[in-house]
Structure 1
Amino acid sequence: MSEYLVIYEKTATGYSAYVPDLPGCISTGPTLEDTRRNMQEAVEGHLSVMREFGDPILQPTTMADRIQIPA
């Protein structure tokens, strides 16, 4: 099993999301929960198409962290 980093961004109409390790794999939704659900389907579909076309599926390498900055 692989874990892919998903970046969520607030938009004027809801949320958008993308996976840095899977270029072109994006999704949107009116709520964060909808976007998460849509992104799960998008990643599964993206990987399925890659397998169908014989594209190599590389292991995820992108990481994220948070830092705190005093106000």
Structure 2
Amino acid sequence: MQYVVIIESGDNSFGAYVPDLPGCVAVAETRAEVLDLIAEAIEFHLEGLRETNKPVPLPWSTSEYVTVSLA
């Protein structure tokens, strides 16, 4: 499965979250590191759902870029 991951950059760090998996987040100093950590967080999150016999949400979020004029 593939889940959409939102990455936000701060002054000194990066954050990531998965809209389809509430509570699944990661924070790191670099973009590469936050991507590695969120992948681990997704696996851990799904494993926890399975272990507690809770349903695993199917990915439903999508993303698009929209170009706007700043005129």
TM-score, L = length of structure 1: 0.93
Flag structure 1 segments of 5+ consecutive residues without an equivalent.
none
Instruction: For 2:45 and 2:12, locate their aligned partners in 1 and report how far apart those are by CA, in whole Å.
Output: 24
Instruction: For 1:49 and 1:8, locate their aligned partners in 2 and report how far apart those are by CA, in whole Å.
Output: 23
Q: Kindly report the root-mean-square deviation, in angstroms, between the aligned alpha carbons of the 2 structures.
A: 0.8
- Residue 12 of structure 1 and its aligned partner are, at CA, apart by 2.4
**Are 1:57 and 2:61 matched, yes or no?**
no
Instruction: For 2:12 and 2:41, locate their aligned partners in 1 and report how far apart those are by CA, in whole Å.
Output: 19
**Partner-residue secondary structure (3-state), 1:44:** helix
What does residue range 1-71 of structure 1 map to in structure 2 within 5 Å? 2-71=1-70
Instruction: For 2:57 and 2:69, locate their aligned partners in 1 and report how far apart those are by CA, in whole Å.
Output: 38
Say if 2:21 and 2:57, in contact at 8 Å, map to a contact too: no
Q: What number of residue pairs does the alignment pair up?
A: 70
- Residue 14 of structure 1 and its aligned partner are, at CA, apart by 0.9
Structure 1 runs of 4+ aligned residues shifted over 2 Å read none
**Partner-residue secondary structure (3-state), 1:17:** strand
Q: 1:4-45 CA deviation, whole Å, 9 max, x = no partner? A: 000000112210000000000000110000000000100000
**Partner-residue secondary structure (3-state), 2:21:** coil
